[in-house]
Amino acid sequence: MNLKTTMRITLTFFLAFCFLISCKEKVSKKEGLKTTIQAQLDSIQGDVAVAFYNLSDPSDSLLINASEEFHAASTMKVPVMIELFKQQHAGKIDLSDSILLKNEFRSIVDSSLYSMDIGVDSDDVIYSKIGTTVALTDLMYPMITVSSNLATNVLIELVGAKNVTATMRDLGADKIEVLRGVEDTKAYELGLSNSTTANDLMQIMKAIAQHTAGTKEDCEKMIAIMKDQQFNEIIPFYLPKEVSVAHKTGSITGVHHDAGIVYLPDGRSYVLVLLSKNLQDFDTGTEQLAGISKTVFEYVVNKGNN
């Protein structure tokens, strides 16, 4: 064996060794992330699911209880937004068109009428416009940014809940169910509620981020709307100001969710979904969820610095 061959073999073994060390370090970091987050979850008095997907490194992801079903709360408003853009692209609607704003809806149980209560809605401004015509885009924006329930019900009635669910199936969200609008008490009492999993919301956010939830232009518009989110107590709470988050929250009694896309200043991005239920202390649980978001952020930043 000549010197050249010996050097080639030695170099091959060295590169293989470096690759193995690199892989081991990568696995170790991910295991460290999982261990840290699991410890944080153990301290929360309630049930939590986590889904993390690194858009800048598809091999890097973490799923904890990601297939468990949760009441979707207002996270289902993102699927409604996607369906609106889809139907506009198909020529069925035009988001610049106006619709009569009403406060009268039919229960999916028996078609009986019910109305939204301004006292429990997060958007009180829109109620002054009842009886007038409002542009669809002017309903879609507050549906996401301030989680307007009245706007949501008008838009779900327009595009159809079944269509929303079918579109989510096409995006790879296999379990999410959008059955109805908000505050359908009769349906709620029968257990007929919108539901989702952390994995489903991860697939949906990933599709928006990767411009497969619609045209590139439409997905960029969705991202811009979600970046204007006014409820920032979870994913963005502990993150630096220069980090932007396109996200949607959702909450009802004992439930607080956040699902979004996190954009770092260096161009990297990732999807994070945090779902919770049975929270014994809502405020404490919310802060603890924000702590998990911080843990993921620090993991991604440190990974990029090494």
- Out of 125-134, 157-166, 276-285, least confident range: 125-134
Q: How far is CA 94 from the centre of its chain?
A: 25
13 falls in which pLDDT band (50, 70, 90)? very low
Nearest residue to 250 via CA among 127, 119, 149? 149
Q: Is the pLDDT of residue 42 over 50?
A: yes
- The secondary structure of 34-49 as a DSSP string is HHHHHHHHHTSSSEEE
The helix/strand count (H/E) of the chain reads as 9, 11
The two structure tokens encoding residue 78: 């993102």
Domain layout of the chain by residue ranges: 43-305
CATH superfamily, with its number, for domain 43-305: DD-peptidase/beta-lactamase superfamily (3.40.710.10)
* Residues 33 and 214 sit within 8 Å (Cβ to Cβ): no
Per-residue model confidence as pLDDT tens digits over 48-70? 999 999 999 988 999 999 999 99
Residues in Cβ contact with 65 at an 8 Å cutoff, skipping those fewer than 6 apart? 47, 48, 49, 50, 198
Per-residue model confidence as pLDDT tens digits over 111-135? 999 998 888 787 878 999 999 999 9
Q: Is the pLDDT of residue 164 over 50?
A: yes
Highest mean pLDDT among 178-182, 273-277, 302-306: 273-277
30 falls in which pLDDT band (50, 70, 90)? confident
